Structure 1
Amino acid sequence: MTRSAHPQRGAALLTAMLTVALVATLASAALWQQWRQVEIEIAERGRSQTAWMMTGALDWTRLILREDAISAQGAAADHLGEPWALAVQESKLSTFLSQDQQWREGDAEVFLSGQITDAQSRMNVMNLVENGEISPQALARFAALFERLDLPLAELQTLAQQLQISLKASRTNPAPTNAGTGNPGPAALMPQQTAQLVWLGLSPATVAALQAHISVLPEATPVNLNTASAEVLSAVVPGLDLASARQAVSQRQRGHWASLSAAQEALGSSGRLLNAQQHSVQSRYFEVQGRMRIDNVVQQETALVRREGIQTRMLWRVRSPQLRLDAPLQ
């Protein structure tokens, strides 16, 4: 009796230990599943809140552009001294809340920043093709820009040819591009953003160098001389070298050009070759960049807005993947 009792007690103890281990494992798994669901819910709620707040911020920029058009009554020039051109530095969202919606302790810290830029301050790639054919004049202007930036002209030729092919294909079998996912349609590679010009033969390094100087708009557009950089001015104004373009930009900072004739007078002999088809002092297309940070999570969005009279319309909106900072900033 005594000898057989020891193995039985050992087996019972082992069974009890296995049972405790199994229960602990199941409990841990259940807690992990619950924690995971809570984290997913928090992330989804954060994404939803960020999307709504970013939508509100983008609507705010549309209102700014609309008010600018109303105050100008369609006659004034667009320039960098207007309210829309002022960048919003990173600011606490609580500073914009009314008195009855104050930030409470425990709420996430939300910071908002952004900027409106004139999309017509840059050279529009769509100007390269006119009536289905490559425009020699536009090609020459882009070649001047490529030379100033020390970029390969062979890539410019490829860009113009591929753009011509894509435009023809899009007219015969249109298939719009999804700007949000970056996936081109099956019929033609029609970019909507500068970064997507790699589809048409530009290398990533060339696209990065051109980012601040070119744009992709739905139609051919003139360059706004009031907002263009010195590099763009020297490329689009015949006979204007880079040094003279920088002097013109410095002069423009003291007072914008109210009309194309004023720009012609300011640019001297080079200004005589300006024409309303390629040059302007007004803009219809604007690019909006917004950045929202909630604690250490950053969400960025870019949108293209077209203004017709006092009406503003968002043509596309792209949300970048969320970024997570190493530690929250204060």
Structure 2
Amino acid sequence: MTARSPSAAQQRGMAIISALLIAAVVAVIAGGMLTRQTLFTRALESEQLRVQGSWQLQGGLEVGRQRLWEDRQRDVLTRPDQAWARPIQLAALGPGSGPFEGRLEDEQGKFNLRNLLANDRLDPLQIENFQRLCALLGVNAAVGQRIGQRVIASYPRLLGPEGAAPAASGLHSGRETSPDAARKPLLARQPMLRSLDDLLGIEGVDEQLLARLAPFVTILPANTWLNGNTASAEALAATVPGLTLPRARALIAERDSGQWFINQGDFINRLRLPEVPADKVRVGITSEWFRLQGQARGERRRVRLLALLHRSEDNMPRVIWSRVGV
């Protein structure tokens, strides 16, 4: 029996250690490859779902535009019994994606904060109307005043009453009280507002308050009349001087039973307020501005869409702006 030499035993031990090291390296490399493959697969699936969600949102947007266009060709009136007011539902595009669900809202059925200014000047009537609406909705008067000030600050404006002819002094000191100040517009001091969410940050304005205002108040890029066929009782009572909330609710109940307002004269006659001048009743029967809210639901996430659409008489509705988020 011969004893193994120390050198042979040492070499055998080194070979075992080397084999173990190689096996460990291979295992690490294989694990890394599997991890990268998993991450790549998930990224690919996520991108596929994102693309499917984008197509779903675009499809919902196009359905909304088409409905608005077809309704406008059928009837000049804008009423909540038309096709545009029905929920928009699209089936899922494929595995992993979900359906699109959305709805159009008539933004001219709400009080438009843009109306606080008209022809680059403050509109005292609309400012008073907004204060009345805040009172009807239980919004603190000081908070309502700060909202109005924020809206006014986001637009350039001229000083002085509508139609006033400023004295041609040729001098302007830069003060608002300068004799020639009415000739030079005050520049906007705040960024332009696109939606009620942009009012967050004003003292006293939080998400709960915006949720209370949302069914009754909007911000549009242009001055508008209220649509009597889609407006709430609160919006009507705030817009029509002398119209009480109970009387406005009675008008709404009559309207929603199918007796739609066919023109402004019809609305004024049914008010039964002969003491209110017709030029103070800024209520019509058609709408050009609509908002689409929708979402595409998938297995792991949902993508939301918010868009503002403008419908003219002669062209397909245009998307003025849109926001997409999860």
Over aligned residues, Cα RMSD in angstroms?
2.6
Cα distance in 2 for residues equivalent to 1:294 and 1:305: 26
- Identical amino acids, percent of aligned pairs: 26
Contact 1:292 1:298 in 2 (8 A): yes
Contact 1:238 1:273 in 2 (8 A): no
Give the AA of the match of 1:289: Q
Contact 2:307 2:322 in 1 (8 A): yes
> Where does residue 100 of structure 1 map in the other structure?
none
Give the AA of the match of 1:216: I
Contact 1:224 1:279 in 2 (8 A): yes
Cα distance in 2 for residues equivalent to 1:192 and 1:64: 24
SS in 1 for 2:147: helix
Work out which of the residue numbers 114, 117, 124 in structure 2 matches 1:126.
Answer: 114
Quick check: 1:316 aligned with 2:312? Answer: no
Quick check: 1:15 aligned with 2:15? Answer: no
SS in 2 for 1:168: coil
Q: What aligned pairs does 1:288-327 form with structure 2 within 5 A after superposition?
A: 288-311=292-315, 312-321=317-326
Quick check: 1:39 aligned with 2:62? Answer: no
Give the AA of the match of 2:53: T
1:202 shift after superposition: 5.9
1:15 shift after superposition: 3.0
Cα distance in 1 for residues equivalent to 2:210 and 2:18: 68
Contact 2:60 2:90 in 1 (8 A): no
Q: What aligned pairs does 1:151-166 form with structure 2 within 5 A after superposition?
A: 151-166=139-154
Cα distance in 2 for residues equivalent to 1:218 and 1:235: 21
SS in 2 for 1:196: helix
Tell me the matched-pair count.
293
1:34 shift after superposition: 1.6
1:274 shift after superposition: 4.9
1:241 shift after superposition: 2.3
Contact 1:305 1:313 in 2 (8 A): yes
Q: What aligned pairs does 1:66-81 form with structure 2 within 5 A after superposition?
A: 66-72=69-75, 76-81=76-81
Deviations 1:247-298 (CA, angstroms, capped at 9, x unpaired): 2211111121111122222222279455487211111111112222233432
Cα distance in 2 for residues equivalent to 1:199 and 1:130: 26
SS in 1 for 2:154: helix
Distance 1:28 1:13, change over 3 A: same
The structure that is helix-richer by fraction is 1
Cα distance in 2 for residues equivalent to 1:288 and 1:18: 62
Give the AA of the match of 2:303: Q
SS in 2 for 1:247: helix
SS in 2 for 1:110: coil
TM superposition score normalised by structure 2: 0.81
SS in 2 for 1:233: helix
Deviations 1:144-172 (CA, angstroms, capped at 9, x unpaired): 11112221222222222232222129x88
Q: What aligned pairs does 1:218-297 form with structure 2 within 5 A after superposition?
A: 218-255=221-258, 256-269=260-273, 272-275=276-279, 278-297=282-301
Work out which of the residue numbers 214, 217, 220 in structure 2 matches 1:214.
Answer: 217
Runs (5+) with no aligned partner, structure 1: 95-102, 175-186, 322-330
Contact 1:284 1:306 in 2 (8 A): yes
Contact 2:49 2:97 in 1 (8 A): no
Cα distance in 2 for residues equivalent to 1:270 and 1:15: 102
1:24 shift after superposition: 0.8
Deviations 1:186-242 (CA, angstroms, capped at 9, x unpaired): x84111111112256561232222111111100111111110112212211222222
SS in 2 for 1:66: helix
SS in 2 for 1:299: strand
SS in 1 for 2:200: helix
TM superposition score normalised by structure 1: 0.80
Contact 1:92 1:109 in 2 (8 A): no
Contact 2:227 2:285 in 1 (8 A): yes
Cα distance in 2 for residues equivalent to 1:142 and 1:309: 29
> Which entry has the higher C-alpha Rg, 1 or 2?
2
Give the AA of the match of 2:219: V
> Where does residue 99 of structure 2 map in the other structure?
111
Cα distance in 1 for residues equivalent to 2:114 and 2:201: 15
Deviates more, 1:49-58 or 1:264-273: 264-273
Quick check: 1:24 aligned with 2:27? Answer: yes
Give the AA of the match of 1:146: C
Contact 2:99 2:296 in 1 (8 A): yes
Runs (5+) with no aligned partner, structure 2: 158-184
Deviations 1:4-63 (CA, angstroms, capped at 9, x unpaired): 554544443333223212211111111111221121122112212221232122122111
Deviations 1:38-93 (CA, angstroms, capped at 9, x unpaired): 21122112212221232122122111111111122xxx3211111111123x5534
